[in-house]
């Protein structure tokens, strides 16, 4: 029988990001359900305030379609945020615990905590995605969020997980 | 708060872990049942809806009724899928967050309260999706949603949200206290 010793924990800052992400994810889920009309009204108001960015033509039929698509995309951003925050919060929690247990060198641990914590902020990119769609238009908003937030934070998460994998796979004395 | 936090995780009470694992097991069983009994479940829901035409606004015109029944069946199926997904996730959330609470919260009564909220909220919330699905055939789409919302989603979801923010606040407070010490 294998009996494990005490399981080391990651620094509190990492735990705080993981728990906050879970709390934000839960809150976003509740907001999506309970505040849906308010969210849609707010989105419609922001789209109206940024009409040129959305390329309104003055034709009611076309403009309605553009508005509906932008609102749908903004709501999708909130929905992705809910889903990813719950998952990434858990990944950060368990992966950083593995780092605390399996990575022997302090410097290496610090780098991995940093990469994983930055990756743990990845879901915030979807909040930015939803907001950017309303402010700068659907395609431009998606482009901004993907290029400047989702891609760098996603790469950070992948690098942290690969680093953990390599570190855990290294032969020990 | 003056006592140093341990450098290792503390295990939450065994019943909390049991509830977390049970939620994951139920989710897996739910997912498997959705696939294995899809035809039977759809047949049961459709039969129950046809037995209550007034509840679903069925008018006796095939084209109209089929559209209404299809929409209700899609929601019925969505409820089962959402139960599967949420129960898997919340099982893990219970295990992870109760470990954080067991390690970080030093005051015994507060620790017990937060762990109880995390566990009951996390385990109860996904059940709302099962209840929603089960009530659709007998109560209609809107009434089933309202019942599930006020009986399960709002109380259990609120418990989880409150407990998670309290936990996040406690972790932040512990960090500040360590920095001051």
ipTM: 0.91
Which A positions 77-96 lie with beta carbon below 8 A of chain B? 86-87, 89-90, 93-94
Please judge whether A23 and B7 are an interchain contact, meaning their C-beta atoms are less than 8 angstroms apart: no
Query: Is residue B136 within 8 Å of B73, Cβ to Cβ?
Result: no
The answer to whether residue B172 neighbours chain A at the CB level (below 8 Å) is yes
pLDDT exceeding 90 applies to what percent of chain A?
A: 85
Q: What does the pLDDT read at residue A140?
A: 94
Using a CB-CB distance cutoff of 8 angstroms, which residues of chain A are in contact with residue B96? 18, 22, 89-90, 93-94
- Both tokens of A153, joined, read 């934070």
A121-146 pLDDT, tens digit each: 999 999 999 999 999 999 999 999 99
- The residue among B122, B69, B80 whose CA lies nearest residue A90 is B122
* Substitution target from B118, B148, B166, B171 for chain A, most A beta carbons within 10 A: B171
The answer to whether residue A107 neighbours chain B at the CB level (below 8 Å) is no
- Both tokens of B11, joined, read 């295990």
Using a CB-CB distance cutoff of 8 angstroms, which residues of chain A are in contact with residue B168? 16, 19-20, 23
Residue A8's beta-bridge partner residues?
B8
Q: What phi and psi, each to the nearest 5 degrees, are found at residue B8?
A: -125, 160
Q: How confident is the model at residue A58 (pLDDT cuts 50, 70, 90)?
A: confident
Is B147 exposed, middle or buried, given 0-12, 13-18 or 19+ CB atoms closer than 10 A?
middle
Instruction: Tell me which DSSP letter residue B8 carries.
Output: B
Beta-carbon count within 10 A of B102 CB: 18
Q: How confident is the model at residue A2 (pLDDT cuts 50, 70, 90)?
A: low
Query: Is residue A22 within 8 Å of A85, Cβ to Cβ?
Result: yes
Please judge whether B153 and A90 are an interchain contact, meaning their C-beta atoms are less than 8 angstroms apart: no
Average pLDDT of B4-23? 92
- The residue among A95, A102, A108, A113 whose CA lies nearest residue A172 is A102
Query: Is residue B105 within 8 Å of B15, Cβ to Cβ?
Result: no
Domain boundaries, chain A: 12-167
- How far apart CA B41 and CA B73 sit, in angstroms, is 10
- How far apart CA B94 and CA B88 sit, in angstroms, is 10
- How far apart CA A122 and CA A145 sit, in angstroms, is 11
Q: What does the pLDDT read at residue B2?
A: 44
Please judge whether A6 and B8 are an interchain contact, meaning their C-beta atoms are less than 8 angstroms apart: yes
How big is the CA angle at A72 (ends B78 and A131), to the nearest 5 degrees?
A: 120
Query: Is residue B8 within 8 Å of A7, Cβ to Cβ?
Result: yes
Per residue, the 3-state secondary structure of chain A, as one string, reads: CCCCCCCECCCHHHHHHHHHHHHHHHHHHHHHHHCHHHHHHHHHHHHHHCHHHHCCCCCHHHHHHHHHHHHHHHHHHHHHHHHHHHHHHHHHHHHHHHHHHHCCCHHHHHHHHHHHHHHHCCCHHHHHHHHHHHHHCHHHHHHHHHHHHHHHHHHHHHHHHHHHHHHHHCCCC
Q: What is the mean pLDDT of chain A?
A: 93
- The residue among A91, A116, A153 whose CA lies nearest residue A11 is A116
Query: Is residue A88 within 8 Å of A122, Cβ to Cβ?
Result: yes
Q: What does the pLDDT read at residue B1?
A: 42
- Both tokens of B95, joined, read 């295990």
Q: What does the pLDDT read at residue B179?
A: 83
Using a CB-CB distance cutoff of 8 angstroms, which residues of chain B are in contact with residue A30? 157-158, 161
Q: What does the pLDDT read at residue A5?
A: 76
CA separation, residue A154 to residues A16, A89, A149, B104 (Å)? 19, 13, 8, 29
């Amino acid at each position: 029988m294998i009996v494990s010793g005490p399981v080391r924990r990651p620094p509190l800052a990492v735990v705080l990001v993981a728990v906050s992400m879970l709390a934000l994810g839960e809150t976003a889920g509740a907001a999506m359900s309970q505040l849906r009309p308010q969210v849609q009204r707010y989105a419609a108001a922001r789209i109206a305030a940024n009409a040129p960015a959305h390329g309104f033509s003055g034709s009611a039929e076309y403009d309605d379609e553009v508005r509906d698509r932008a609102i749908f995309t903004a709501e999708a951003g909130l929905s992705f945020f809910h889903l990813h925050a719950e998952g990434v919060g858990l990944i950060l929690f368990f992966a950083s615990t593995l780092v605390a247990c399996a990575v022997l060198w302090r410097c290496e641990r610090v780098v991995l905590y940093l990469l994983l914590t930055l990756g743990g902020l990845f879901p915030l990119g979807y909040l930015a995605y939803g907001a950017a769609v309303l402010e700068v238009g659907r395609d431009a908003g998606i482009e901004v969020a993907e290029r400047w937030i989702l891609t760098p934070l996603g790469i950070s998460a992948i690098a942290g997980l690969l680093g953990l994998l390599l570190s855990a796979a290294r032969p020990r004395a | 708060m003056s006592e140093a936090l341990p450098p290792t995780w503390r295990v939450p009470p065994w019943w909390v872990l049991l509830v977390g694992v049970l939620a994951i097991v139920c989710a897996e069983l739910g997912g498997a049942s959705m696939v294995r009994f899809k035809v039977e479940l759809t047949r049961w829901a459709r039969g129950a809806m046809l037995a209550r035409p007034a509840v679903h606004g069925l008018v006796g015109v095939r084209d109209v009724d089929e559209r209404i029944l299809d929409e209700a069946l899609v929601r019925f199926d969505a409820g089962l899928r959402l139960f599967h997904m949420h129960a898997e996730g919340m099982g893990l959330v219970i295990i992870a967050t109760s470990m954080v609470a067991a390690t970080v919260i030093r005051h015994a009564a507060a620790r017990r309260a937060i762990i109880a909220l995390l566990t009951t909220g996390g385990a109860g919330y996904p059940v709302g999706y099962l209840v929603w699905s089960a009530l659709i055939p007998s109560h209609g789409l809107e009434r089933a949603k309202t019942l599930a919302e006020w009986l399960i989603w709002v109380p259990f979801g609120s418990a989880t949200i409150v407990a998670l923010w309290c936990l996040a606040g406690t972790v932040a407070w512990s960090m500040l206290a360590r920095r001051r010490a």
